[in-house]
Structure 1
């Protein structure tokens, strides 16, 4: 299934008269790898947002849209827990385990707590 990132890239290619292989060449990857990223089988490499923004001379609004699409399309995310104490590690893992079972109201409460200014 085409991700938000994939839809953005497809539109970008169409607007620039390019094929998947043309964008893949610009990103120095194979067409099959780019396709896997666009279809949510692989994560969007972190460097791609800036590379695509630069190579396609995206304006600020397009860069923001691309960044949001890339973040939304991530299938996994690695968290570095090595500098956290065990209580904080447990908190992170509890949230990861429970997030799918939470309703929208609970998620909003947690998000508001996290965004609360000190």
Structure 2
């Protein structure tokens, strides 16, 4: 089953007029691996967004949306905590623990606070 990221990558390829092979040559990954990313059979590599954005201006200009699609395909979000104190790390952990039980209204309020879409 194609992921939302896969659908967007296919649309991107069509818009650019390139094949899966063309995209694979552009970013330096095999066509089979890209196909597996599109269908959710392989995990999206950590450097994938950087590879795409460095070669395709459309992706660079819409980087945040592609980051969301990649996180959605991975079914996880990673958050760096290297400069966080204990309280910040505890907050991030509690948010992650409770995320799936937040109501639509609570998520809406958080979007407003964070300036999200």
* 1:4–1:20 Cα change, 3 Å: same
Aligned partner of residue 43 in structure 2, secondary structure: coil
Question: Which structure has the higher relative contact order (CA within 8 Å, separation 6+)?
Answer: 1
Moved over 6 A (4+): none
Corresponding residue of 1:73: 70
> Gaps (5+ residues) in structure 1?
none
* 1:97–1:103 Cα change, 3 Å: same
Say if 1:2 and 1:38, in contact at 8 Å, map to a contact too.
yes
Corresponding residue of 2:26: 26
The two structures, once aligned, show a CA RMSD in angstroms of: 2.6
Q: Distance in 2 between matches of 1:59 and 1:26?
A: 13
Provide the TM-score with structure 1 as the length reference.
0.72
> Gaps (5+ residues) in structure 2?
none
Q: Distance in 2 between matches of 1:104 and 1:33?
A: 36
Aligned ranges for residues 88-103 of structure 1 at < 5 Å?
Answer: 88-103=88-103
Q: Distance in 2 between matches of 1:4 and 1:103?
A: 23
Rg comparison, structure with higher value: 1
Aligned partner of residue 47 in structure 1, secondary structure: helix
Q: Distance in 2 between matches of 1:105 and 1:59?
A: 31
Q: Distance in 1 between matches of 2:99 and 2:59?
A: 35
How many correspondences in the alignment? 109
